[in-house]
Amino acid sequence: MYAYKVKKRKFSVVVRLFLALLVLPCTVFGGGEGVHVESLFAQARGMERRFQHQGLFFEDRMLEEYLGEILVKLALPEERQFYNLRVRILKSRVVNAFAAPDGTVYVTTGLLARLVNETQIAAVMVHELGHIVKNHTARSLLAEKERALMPASEPVRGRRRGRDAQPQIVERDAYARIFSSGIGIAGDAFQMYAHDYALDFEREADSLGLARLAAGGYMNDDADDNIARVHFKARFWNVILYEAGFALAAGDFELADMLIERLLAIGVCNAAALTMRGDMERFLAPRSTASVRWYEDALRCDPGNRGALLSMGFAHHSIGRPDACEYLGKYSEIAEDGVAIKMVRELLLGCEL
């Protein structure tokens, strides 16, 4: 895991599932009863299939390809051949990224929406690349398996949780129970040791990352890494809009406002962003007319925008304006399959009276 988190957060269910799937007794890495790298690769592919089946991916191929290009650029030729280096985006407000041992880097929408230039993106990619090429997953599991095989009567000192945290003492028979039971109680294994990589692994990934960033030209003062001018409009608009909607639905108006302002500052006429800004005004002051101006701007950009028509109709209805019937009527004509169509038609019945 990368150390760029704004504050300490619990892992998402996504990461818990990933780590749980990796706790299997296998061979090769470390010799003897070690960790089989091919098995880890297979489990990583299975994890991705589960993510896909559960609808956890944010589908933006153009953005994933762009992020993948940065990841590949930072890798050595032999690493590009051995690993299937690519990036997948997960729908999650958690600010996080993690790497599967087969070369796939998973990054959340919550993290991407907060990055502001390509150097920051490259820093995330290269750190996770460090975990991949240094075999940190296999090495972590091997270390924990070795603990499980030690005499049960001897205590083992657990990893520190943060700089100031006190080391935990865990009985070796507890480790033994975890690994002897396979993946059945992998959740217990996660709770015990898999909160993040050991500090020395994080430092190793950071050290590799700094060297690769410099080699890739990202440490130069004259590097042009301004996403707003080069990549932002085409590649990051959708993910920021998605996160803004998440924040708005969760009542995190400060974050929603910041993300929407980033979209509007570009100067592109976008009905979705303008409508979302109006929705925020309406949530904060339901009977105010402040939202109407944003909806008007949205409809000037796109006169047939469903979201803007629906929001404008509801806004006028909430303050008792007859214009509500006009906008709701237009929405009903073009959105017969709309999520709010039943409510809209009920309101339109009142317009006929």
Those residues whose C-beta lies under 8 Å from the C-beta of residue 294, and which sit 6 or more positions away, are: 274, 275, 277, 278, 281
State the Cα–Cα distance between residues 24 and 22, nearest whole angstrom.
Answer: 6
How far out from the chain centre does Cα 343 lie? 33
Instruction: Domain ranges for the chain, please list them.
Output: 13-215, 269-352
The reported pLDDT for the residue numbered 218 is 84
Q: pLDDT of the chain along its 353 residues, tens only? A: 444 444 344 444 444 444 444 433 333 544 444 556 777 788 888 888 999 999 999 999 999 999 999 999 999 999 999 999 999 999 999 898 988 888 999 999 999 999 888 888 999 999 899 888 887 777 777 666 666 566 555 554 544 444 444 444 333 343 333 333 333 223 333 333 334 556 777 777 777 878 888 888 887 655 555 554 555 666 888 999 999 999 999 999 999 999 999 888 876 788 999 999 999 999 998 888 899 999 999 999 999 999 999 999 999 998 888 888 999 999 999 988 888 899 989 888 888 65
**Helices (DSSP H) in 89-230: which residue ranges?**
109-112, 118-133, 136-148, 172-180, 186-193, 199-215, 227-230
pTM above 0.85, yes or no: no
What CATH number labels 269-352?
1.25.40.10
In this structure, the strands spanning 86-90 and 104-108 are: parallel
Cβ(324)–Cβ(314) under 8 Å?
A: yes
In terms of C-beta density within 10 A (0-12 exposed, 13-18 middle, 19 or more buried), how is residue 49 classed?
exposed
The reported pLDDT for the residue numbered 146 is 63
